[in-house]
Amino acid sequence: MADRALVVVRAGLLTTVQDRGRPGHAHLGVPRSGALDAPAAALVNRLVGNPPEAAVLETTLNGCALRPRSTVTVAVGGAPGTVTVDGRPAPWGAPVRVPGGALLEVGPARAGVRGYVGIAGGVAVEPVLGSRSTDLLSGLGPPPLADGAVLPLGVPAGPHAHVDTVAQPGPPDELVLRVTLGPRADWFTQDALRTLVTRAYRVSAASNRIGLRTEGPALERARAGELPSEGMVLGAVQVPPDGRPVVFLADHPTTGGYPVIAVVRTADLAAAAQAAPGTPVRFTAVSRR
For 64, counting Cβ atoms within 10 Å of its Cβ (0-12 exposed, 13-18 middle, 19+ buried), the class is: buried
pLDDT digits (tens, 9 = 90+) for 2-52: 699 999 999 999 999 999 999 999 988 999 999 999 999 999 999 999 999
Question: Which domains does the chain carry?
Answer: 5-152 (no CATH), 175-285 (2.40.100.10)
Residues in the chain: 289
CA distance 184 to 257: 11
CA distance 262 to 247: 9
Q: What is the rounded average pLDDT for all residues in the chain?
A: 95
pLDDT digits (tens, 9 = 90+) for 72-94: 999 999 999 999 999 999 999 99
Cβ atoms of 35 and 113 closer than 8 Å: no
Euclidean distance between the first and the last CA atom of the chain, given in angstroms as a whole number: 51
Q: Tell whether the model's pLDDT for residue 136 goes beyond 90.
A: yes
DSSP string, 173-216: SSEEEEEEE-SSGGGB-HHHHHHHHHS-EEE-TT--SSEEEEES
Q: Tell whether the model's pLDDT for residue 287 goes beyond 60.
A: yes
Cβ contacts of 49 within 8 Å, gap of 6 or more: 73, 120, 156, 157, 158, 159, 160, 161
Cβ atoms of 211 and 248 closer than 8 Å: yes
Phi-psi bin for 186: left (phi > 0), alpha (psi -120 to 50), beta? Answer: alpha
